[in-house]
Structure 1
Amino acid sequence: MRFAVYLPLLLPLLAPLGARLIAERCEPRLATWLLTASALVLGAASTLCLGLLAFTGLVRLPQLAALGHWAPLTAHDDPAALPVALAAGLLLGGATVMAVRLLLRRVRSLAAAALEAACMPARDGLVVIDDEAPDAFALPGLPGRVVVSTGMLDTLDAAEHRILLAHERAHLTAHHYAFVALAQLGAAANPLLRPLARAVTYTIERWADENAATATGDRRKVAQTVGKAALAARRTLARTPGGALAFLGRRDRRPSAGPVPRRVAALLAPPLGLHPVLATATAAVLAAATLASAEAVHDLHLLLRAVGTW
């Protein structure tokens, strides 16, 4: 346990590098699955290991050890010094609070989105709102809705309308909002995993872009539509409700290049492949985190047996 319990806490340090490589070099659907799985597995593994470290600190206290009929751990037996165990306990408490808060917030936003979608009169799942600001988003629900403003419809021509609808419907049919929510949950449990969650918000847009390109057979036209919509919406405020996925993704008003130029560049380039090397490396990291967590739990089990429990 002395080594295994720390490995899942160190592996999230690879998140910034892994997020960038996977998002930019893997086919978007595979990238989304890999990033979401990584955020969930690494978040769960690191939280579990924080719990194990905190537990060893509790068992060192004679009063608490007596409640479980354990002999207090000695410095030789204990896999973590008391300050480490206390720090792990504080981090575990913070991770739990953040994960619960995010989970409740996401549930509320998705429930509100579903209720709003159910109240919207739609034709073939499409809702047109009278608004001069160019905007378009997919609103999850049972069923979901694609919402487009009159300003966006006036900005785009008929072929671009089809691309826009194909993009937004891809968000609904592939349940992209669930990938975003799960990745954010893992990042809430471990802030080191935030690059993975941010990358998921990009790869789902790339996934929808590729679906639109497949449906229309014109990657260059899809790139043109994304760029044209971004320029039209540049000086307007985002009106996307919570839980919805906008055509332009998250708006970023900083001068540096945001996700839209990257999406346009990706559409103008040949489609990305599955990249088996990155997929295998990601699977190896997740397997290492899972096995190390299981080994740490097993070692703690043996340790507690040795000091008089189970």
Structure 2
Amino acid sequence: MHLAVYLPLLFPALAGLSAGPLARRLEPRLATWLLTAAGLVLAASSTAVLGLLALAGLVRIPLVAALKGYSPEVIDRQDPAAWPAALAGAVLLALAVLAAVRMAARRAGALWSAALEAACLPGPGPVVVIDDPGADAYAMPGLPGRIVISHGMLDALDAAGHEILLVHERAHLDHHHYAFVSLAQLSAAANPLLRPLADTVAYTVERWADEHAAHHTGDRRAVAETVARAAVAAKRGRGGRHLPAAALGVLGRRTAPGFVPRRVAALLAPPPQSPPLLLVAAAALLAASSLCALEAARDLHQFLELAHLR
């Protein structure tokens, strides 16, 4: 248990460092699915091993050992986890669970608020044009979701740009990009080492929508120009100040430096090809993390059975 229980705590750091390169090399839809799944698996594995460390320390408490019928002599001799490691595991487990619950509640509240706001927007159609001179455009999840575009954004783009903008925002709604972002943020809340991965998912969903628009129009350069013009217009007109928490839009995460330039550069380059070797390496990392957590659980189970037999 000693080695297996610590490796899943280190793998998220490797995943965080690898998220950016993976996003650049993989097709955006595949990258989004892979990174989101990786975040969930790694967060679950690390949380599980924290629980195992906490449990290994808990059974060393004499009162707990007596209540469960465990032999103190066997526990002291086998020493499944040192006291400092067990105590640290218990503290980190409590923090991880608390952070995950808080994030889940916040994201659920944001999605619910977005759905209510989308339902209250004027007009029956999926597209709502608001009278705002600032350039802004975003998709709001709901039943149904709505696309909000300001007059300022319409004025900043030509007819071809309007079509690209609508296709981009529809992609956010049709492919439920808000769900990927929410799950990635939940993983990062449970394990802060996954924060770079969650930030990368926020980027890959925008790249997914960009590539969807490029495929629909058949003109990658036109999509790149539209993204750039929208960003310049928003900066000039100070748009996007009231973007709902659950909304996604062509401007992406506006506080991230270099976010839009990276998307424009990717659109001006050939589409990514998703090298199979990267997929194999990512799958190996997830399999190793899961197997280590399972192995640690098996070792602890065997230890407790031995301690119970005295």
Normalised to the residue count of structure 2, the TM-score between the two structures is 0.96
**AA matched with 2:151:** T
8 Å Cα contact 1:28-1:203 kept in structure 2: yes
Map 1:228-247 → 2, pairs under 5 A: 228-235=229-236, 236-238=238-240, 239-247=242-250
Distance in 2 of aligned mates of 1:67 and 1:32: 47
Q: Which string of whole-angstrom CA distances, capped at 9 and with x for unpartnered residues, describes residues 128-163 of structure 1?
A: 111011000000001101110111011111100000
8 Å Cα contact 2:6-2:49 kept in structure 1: yes
Q: Which string of whole-angstrom CA distances, capped at 9 and with x for unpartnered residues, describes residues 84-115 of structure 1?
A: 10011111111111100000000000011111
**AA matched with 1:240:** L
Matched with 1:32 is: 32
Long gaps (5+) in structure 2: none
Matched with 1:136 is: 137
Distance 1:77 1:122, change over 3 A: farther
Q: Give, in angstroms, the shift of residue 64 of structure 1.
A: 1.2
Distance in 2 of aligned mates of 1:9 and 1:79: 17
**AA matched with 2:35:** L
Q: Give, in angstroms, the shift of residue 10 of structure 1.
A: 1.3
Matched with 2:88 is: 87
Structure with greater proportional helix content: 2
8 Å Cα contact 1:8-1:292 kept in structure 2: yes
**1:251 counterpart SS class:** coil
Q: Which string of whole-angstrom CA distances, capped at 9 and with x for unpartnered residues, describes residues 236-276 of structure 1?
A: 152211111121111127xxx51100000000000011221
**AA matched with 1:208:** A
Distance in 2 of aligned mates of 1:249 and 1:6: 36
Distance in 2 of aligned mates of 1:167 and 1:43: 30
Matched with 2:121 is: 120
Q: Give, in angstroms, the shift of residue 17 of structure 1.
A: 2.3
Matched with 1:304 is: 304
What is the aligned-residue RMSD (CA, Å)? 1.4
Map 1:199-238 → 2, pairs under 5 A: 199-235=200-236, 236-238=238-240
Distance in 1 of aligned mates of 2:79 and 2:131: 66
Distance in 2 of aligned mates of 1:286 and 1:104: 27
Map 1:148-227 → 2, pairs under 5 A: 148-227=149-228
Q: Which string of whole-angstrom CA distances, capped at 9 and with x for unpartnered residues, describes residues 167-202 of structure 1?
A: 000000000000000011111000001010000000
8 Å Cα contact 1:205-1:249 kept in structure 2: yes
The more displaced of 265-274 and 64-73 is 64-73
Distance in 1 of aligned mates of 2:125 and 2:275: 37
**2:5 counterpart SS class:** coil
Distance 1:208 1:14, change over 3 A: same
Distance in 2 of aligned mates of 1:79 and 1:269: 53
**AA matched with 1:247:** V
Distance 1:131 1:167, change over 3 A: same
Matched with 1:66 is: 66
Normalised to the residue count of structure 1, the TM-score between the two structures is 0.96
Q: Give, in angstroms, the shift of residue 123 of structure 1.
A: 5.1
**AA matched with 1:225:** T
8 Å Cα contact 2:167-2:212 kept in structure 1: yes
**2:128 counterpart SS class:** strand
**2:138 counterpart SS class:** strand
Once superposed, which parts of structure 1, at least 4 consecutive aligned residues long, lie more than 4 Å away?
none
Q: Give aligned-pair identity as a percent.
A: 61
- Aligned counterpart in structure 1 of residue 251 of structure 2, from 248, 252, 268: 248
Distance in 1 of aligned mates of 2:23 and 2:225: 21
8 Å Cα contact 2:168-2:213 kept in structure 1: yes
Matched with 1:49 is: 49
Distance in 1 of aligned mates of 2:166 and 2:153: 12
**1:21 counterpart SS class:** helix
**AA matched with 2:85:** V
Distance in 2 of aligned mates of 1:276 and 1:65: 50
**AA matched with 1:113:** A
The more displaced of 97-106 and 76-85 is 76-85
8 Å Cα contact 1:127-1:145 kept in structure 2: yes
Q: Give, in angstroms, the shift of residue 66 of structure 1.
A: 1.4
Q: Which string of whole-angstrom CA distances, capped at 9 and with x for unpartnered residues, describes residues 205-257 of structure 1?
A: 0000000001111100000000001111114152211111121111127xxx5
Long gaps (5+) in structure 1: none
Matched with 1:285 is: 285
**AA matched with 2:77:** H
Q: Give, in angstroms, the shift of residue 78 of structure 1.
A: 2.0
The more displaced of 27-36 and 290-299 is 290-299
Distance in 2 of aligned mates of 1:237 and 1:75: 64
